[in-house]
Structure 1
Amino acid sequence: MADELELLRGANPVPADGPHYGDGPLDHTAERRLDLLLNQRPAAPRRRTRLAWGLAATAVVTALVSALLLTGQTTAPAVAAPRPLVVRADSTPVSLDRLAERAVRAAATGSPGLRKGTHVQSWSLAMSEKDPPITLPQETIVRWNRDDTHTEIVVATDPRHPGRPVLTDEGGEPRLVDDGKVLSRRTYPPSWSDAPPQSPPPHDAVRLHDYLEEAQRAFLADHSRPLSTAELLDAAKILLDHWTLGARESAALARLLADAEGLRPAGQVTDRLGRRGQAYVYDGEGSRQMLIMDPADGAVLGLEVTFTRGDPRFGVKAGDVMSYSAWMR
């Protein structure tokens, strides 16, 4: 009996923060896992083929999808992924034109200034046709030095559940590690480039558009056409993964986004770091992108992408979060 109890505690089929809470009914997935625990021995670990993992573009799928996970020789605790952000029903949407005007006023003093490097919290999806998709939360800090060297630190952490174990794919297999575990710490030798996104971004909308177009060029099949709105959002993500924008650069980006076709105001949201922001939504082919911006100065706080079509091969359905990044200043 002791072995079965340990397996049951480890599987935690009804986590306290789950959708049904501790005293509610089990969903179908939890019932199936419980039946496996009571009637079968744990299966040998299976190697997961990671078909999607990255931050650079929509072609590289990153996401958060709720799933229970069994890995290793023993059963790992269930890992709860966040639900999509919800726009407040009683909030009044702010147009991007108005937000861009606020950003220009906030940039009048030129402070804060542009800073090379980034601080980003991201949640990423690994998918395969054999196993459920799994959530890989991490925090990345990139700092540049005066001698053009830079350091990158990647930490396994999830601010939604401070102090609790975090799922990572360190070593090629998904496993749990302690919150705050340093996954990598690298210092790079001096380097520089005059090409985007390594070169400093301009702080007027016209030149910033050209800059983002060049930064996104490697991911485009047709270089002769202008960026679509989806591609513009991807390029903005590339920029924010390399630079912490100053007030003037944020104002230029807000002005550029205000002119983007199909990016509509949705209302107020609270992001996954607890910050209030204005949401702007773009419905693309098979996905929806939600940009979260600071209502005071127009700075980009986050970007969430959700599936609008399900794919049973990978265990995802319409409405599941495909990717999320939260940038800090």
Structure 2
Amino acid sequence: MADELDLLRAADPVPADHPRLGDGPLDQRAERLLADLRREPPARRRVRWFRVGAGVRPRPAWALLAAVVTAVTLSLVVGGTATTPALAAPRPLVVRADTTRVTLTELARRARADAAAGGEALRKGTHVQSWSLAMSEDKAPITLPEERIVRWKPDGSHTELVVATDPTHPGRPVLRDDAEGPRLVEDGHVVSRRTYPRSWSDAPPQSPPPRDANRLRAWLQEAASEPDGLGTGQILDAVELMLDNWTLGARESAALAELLAGTEGLRPAGRVTDRLGRPGLAYTYEERGLAHLLIMDPRTGAVLGRETTFTRADPTYGVRAGDVMAYSAWMR
């Protein structure tokens, strides 16, 4: 427990001696945000403000608190909600709905055929490009792009490299927020480079994902710390957690495709080209003001990416319907 607390404190983007954090009573806004913690968290707080490393098993309550604290304290843009963001947020992907829609059942069949032919092997670690929307009540929302590479070593330790980069605008400056405040950095700027000691955990997401759909569902449920089962949105969140720790092999991707084929509300939408230029099949699900777009490889069934957009405006945070809240693209 102490080690995990130390990692969380080290990940706090605002130091304890920051001039904005003087001691004093909570104001009305802070009281309201604190009260919100007792209720179902709004979907907008699912934005990932920081990562504590693949070696730490997540604690959802702590992650929620950190997101709320960050939303209250960070000033991430130049100007108020009526101003133009420092860098434009990515537009939602366009799905070609006029194309033949491939069901998840058919995609699972293709994935099993790929696995039977050999396919890729499971690898611990991840390579992901992400775009995350940061919001506050008095500043326009902005998008922070970054690339994260996690590699595990034979001795059980692992390294994590985080780089500020946006492959949709190669060579352009990238927006970051750190101890110096919001600023533009060069494309490829190293945000962090860390080495983590060996992890002794054998619980999900540290244990290898199963190759059977039913066992994989139980694995995702344990990884997400949801003892009462997983709804569709929770399954998508748990899949993202898995892919932020593991690069799936052909057999694991087939099991996941089979699991998703039995997931209520996840519907085929057509073909799409993801933000890295890869062709994919799009599957959609909507809940609580958010639209989830899952992008999967049309041949292997591997998950290529996930996009989450707002389906309704929230003037408090300067969010409009159709704004991209988060996007992740996983690579091998």
Q: TM range, normalised to the smaller chain?
A: 0.7 to 0.9
Tell me what 2:239 maps to.
236
Partner of 1:295: 298
Deviates more, 1:106-115 or 1:234-243: 106-115
Contact 1:205/1:252 (8 A) holds in 2: yes
- C-alpha separation between the residues in 1 aligned to 2:50 and 2:117? 36
User: Aligned partners of 1:47 and 1:271: how far apart in 2?
Assistant: 39
Matched, 1:179 2:187: yes
Q: Any unmatched runs of 5+ in structure 1?
A: 1-45, 63-67
**Using the alignment, how far apart are the partners of 2:99 and 2:77 within structure 1?**
37
For 2:117, the equivalent position in structure 1 comes to 109
Indicate the SS of the match to 2:205. coil
Q: Paired residue for 1:313?
A: 316
Superposed CA deviations along residues 197-251 of structure 1, whole A, max 9, x for unmatched, are 011111110100000000111xx4xx33x21010000000000000000000000
Q: Distance in 1 between matches of 2:270 and 2:85?
A: 36
Counterpart for residue 263 of structure 2: 260
Equivalent residues of 1:47, 1:173 under 8 A apart: no
Asked whether the 8 Å contact 2:128–2:328 carries over to 1, the reply is yes
Bigger radius of gyration among the two: 1
Paired positions, count: 271
Identify the residue that residue 41 of structure 2 maps to in structure 1: none
SS of match in other structure, 2:109? helix
Counterpart selection for 1:192 from 197, 200, 212? 200
Distance verdict in 2 for CA 1:316–1:256, change over 3 Å: same
Q: Contact 2:280–2:297 at 8 Å: present in 1 too?
A: yes
Identify the residue that residue 95 of structure 2 maps to in structure 1.
87
* SS, match of residue 163 in structure 1: coil
Partner of 1:134: 142
Q: Alpha-carbon deviation of 1:69?
A: 4.5
From 153, 157, 160, give the equivalent of 1:152: 160
| Counterpart Cα distance in 1 of 2:86 and 2:244 | 30
Give SS of 1:174's match. Answer: strand
Structure 1 segment 44-55 matched on structure 2, within 5 A:
52=47, 53-54=49-50
| 1:189 Cα deviation after fit | 1.3
- 1:57-102 deviation digits (Å, cap 9, x = unpaired): 896699xxxxx9527xxxx994122100110143111100000000
TM-score by length of 1: 0.77
SS of equivalent to 2:147: strand
Closer/same/farther in 2, CA of residues 235 and 172 from structure 1, 3 Å limit:
farther
Q: In 1, distance between residues paired with 2:20 and 2:301?
A: 44
Residues in 2 aligned to 1:257 and 1:157: alpha-carbon distance in whole angstroms: 31
Contact 1:110/1:246 (<8 A) preserved: no
Choose from 309, 321, 324 the match for 2:327.
324
CA RMSD of aligned residues (A): 2.7
Secondary structure of the residue aligned to 2:127 is strand
Conserved? CA contact 1:118–1:141, under 8 Å: yes
Instruction: Report the secondary structure of 2:89's partner residue.
Output: coil
Question: Sequence identity, in percent?
Answer: 65
**Hey, what does 2:212 align to over in structure 1?**
204
Secondary structure of 1:236's aligned partner: helix
Change (3 A) 1:282 1:188: same
The alpha-carbon distance between structure 1 residues 77 and 211, as it changes in their structure 2 partners (threshold 3 A), is closer
TM-score by length of 2: 0.76
Residues 86 and 142 of structure 2 are in contact (CA less than 8 Å); yes or no, is this contact kept in structure 1?
no
- 2:224 counterpart letter in structure 1: Q
Amino acid in structure 1 at the alignment position of 2:247:
T
